[in-house]
Chains A and B, each alone.
Chain A
Amino acid sequence: VLPATTVLCIDDEAIGLKVRKLVLERAGYHVLTATDGESGIQMFQQEAVDVVLLDFSMPGMNGDEVAVALRAAKPAVPIVLLSAFVSLPERMLTLVDACLTKGEGPESMLHKLRDVLAVYRGGLGHGTSS
């Protein structure tokens, strides 16, 4: 059995975060949560994270700032932006691997995660086999 894939969820919405964690855990993921950008980045650096689910709108540090920091730390780890905002800055879209709008539903979220991870694993697999 493959070791559980670790997802880092960064969101300032406490309930949303809690529910999302339950959904992801039920889908078999290992879930880490952070309620603001700073602690999220810290956690990302300390833990082995396979994918990040990042909220855009957060007090203190916005999603794009967080994304820049994450990329700087571990460029390969895929980042999925999960936002309630419709109009996101252009820079944000180029920084992340995929985008999700809040309210699209859990299936959509899980599907997107799988896709991103497949690409990520494919890249890794290719890298390890050679």
Chain B
Amino acid sequence: MNLREFNRILEQTLLVPVLLLLALAAILVWQIQSTLTAQRLIDHSDQVSTNARDVERLIIDQETGLRGYQLTGDTLMLAPFKTAEPMIPRKFAMLRDLLADNPSQLAHLAQLNDRYQIWVGFAQSVMASPDELKSNVAVNRRGKDMMDAIRAQSQSLVQAESELRRQRAVNVEKRVRRVLSFTFIGAALAGLLLGLFTRSRLHRVSRAYQSSLNELQQRADDLYETRLRYQTTLESIGDAVIACDAQGGVEFMNEVAQRLTGWNLSEAREMPLDQIFHIVNEETREICENPVEKVLRTNTVIGLANHTVLVARNDVEYVIDDSASPIRDQRGKITGVVLIFRDVTDIKRTEAALIASERHTIAGTLAASIAHEIHNPLDSVANLHHLLASEEDPDKREEFLAMAKQELDRTMQISRAMLSLYREPKAPIRIDISALIDDVLLLLDRRLADQSISVTRELEPELVVEGFPAELRQVFTNLIVNAADAAGRNGRIGIRTSRTLPEESRPAGVMIEVSDSGPGISAKVEKNLFQPFFTTKGELGTGLGLWVSMGIVQKHSGTIRIGNSDCDGFSGAAVCVYLPMRALACAKPRVI
């Protein structure tokens, strides 16, 4: 129910009782009015009766006066007669007015008047007659008869009027009863109607209220459930989660976060984040910027720099990988920061172990061909030594020694190339990429020859980049071995190095392209190429080569792309490695 509806109901509950009671009052007024009218009719009857009695009394007064005069002959006795004489016609006139609406009573009145007039005529004749004739039995009896007739007529008028009055009284009583019962029933009915009406309105309001309440309760339940679900989710995920308010005070930490930091949520709550989340750079040991402050400053999601170490409360250190994101309200204002991190110590260790293992694998791959490369010249040297021991001819000796030196030089070159797979300078050095690739090809020479693979080199001289030579050797050994495996027996490999000009997205550098005549790469394989343990070589591959190569190239701020070759004569895959000239100034960490 909305507010408008509610206001309408309020108006209804105000107006309906008022209107109903007004209607009831109007009917009551009408009823009372008609009762009053009936009451007035009674009064009217009373007036008629009173006047009729008055007339009778006045006539009797006249008769009494006349009788006295008859008996005494004294005119004084006629005083009452004279007094009443002018009053009676007035009374009759009044009665006529009163009874104007009642013809039967008017008839009675007219008759009474007639009889009175007759009697008046008699009275006047009596008064005019001589004294001796004034009173005798006949006259008296005549007078009495007339008077009786008048009385009877008056009586019947009065009786008729009182009958009328009685009827009118009954009518009034009936009306009063009706008013009373109407009042009672009306009140009861109005009460009932109002009650029912109010009840129905209240029911509606109450239902709406109840449904609002239910809705609120439902919302509260939903909210609670959602909150619980999120809480449980946060509690049960494997990553550590810390939520802070906009000032960097800790609001929430899940189990993992509590374990890694060594702080309980109850202790850490409302504490500044940097007190419980103490992070330093793994290598420099410098304190890292508080991620909350960084998020507030940059207003974006941030990832922590690589090599971040979390120093727990008990001084245990964890290598962590983390990100921090702002929490925004509906208007986009930052109301807090959520920090998500995980312990990657084991991952880092495993990664390091995998990288080391891959380096050994590369060395293992090369071992057989290196052994071959070293044993061949060694064999010659041993044979030459044998020959020298019994050779007298100085020219021959000279020749043998020269040959021995040549063979030893070859051994040393191979040995150096092999060792440089392991020896790594502390800092990046300048490397001639084309020379490095020549070295790698020297080590792989035997292996490639065994598979009768021909190598086409287009190496631009003096392509110098900064970097770690052993790692780069590893990358190219890996790429060339892959190309050889893909090309197969009697296959071909093309290696091309070139200078690249600076572009918007990357500085000047070197592009090394290794193409092969193999079957190329399917889209499905391409997707997984850089995933660790992904291999197309079955038992023979570790699935780490490209993964490690990628890491090394990324460490040199370079890129590595694998697609299908568009070079003439190379139908298979082509790997393009870009290395910037000055790599490590802007080195990025590996992207796991």
Contacts and interface: CB of A to CB of B under 8 A. Distances in A.
A60 B452 contact: yes
Closest 10 CB pairs of A and B: A84-B375, A102-B379, A106-B386, A84-B372, A103-B378, A102-B375, A19-B383, A59-B449, A103-B375, A16-B380
B386 A107 contact: yes
B450 A59 contact: yes
A64 B272 CA distance: 74
A13 B379 CA distance: 11
B380 A59 contact: no
B93 to A, nearest CB: 164
Contacts of B374: 84, 103
A57 B403 CA distance: 22
A26 B450 contact: no
What secondary structure prevails in chain B residues at the interface with A?
helix
Contacts of B449: 12, 57, 59
10 contacts: A12-B449, A13-B380, A15-B403, A16-B377, A20-B379, A59-B449, A82-B379, A102-B378, A103-B374, A107-B386
B406 A15 contact: yes
A87 interface: yes
User: Size class of A's contact patch?
Assistant: 20 to 34
A113 to B, nearest CB: 13
A42 B379 CA distance: 26
A19 B368 contact: no
A92 to B, nearest CB: 14
A23 interface: yes
Contact of B382 (A13, A15, A106): A106
From A13, A102, A107, residue with most partner B Cβ within 10 Å:
A102
A15 B380 contact: yes
A105 B382 contact: yes
A39 interface: no
B403 A19 contact: yes
A38 B297 CA distance: 75
B540 to A, nearest CB: 14
Contacts of B446: 57
Interface string A1-40: 0000000000011011011101100100000000000000
B387 A26 contact: yes
Contacts of A12: 449
Contact of A59 (B376, B379, B400, B452): B452
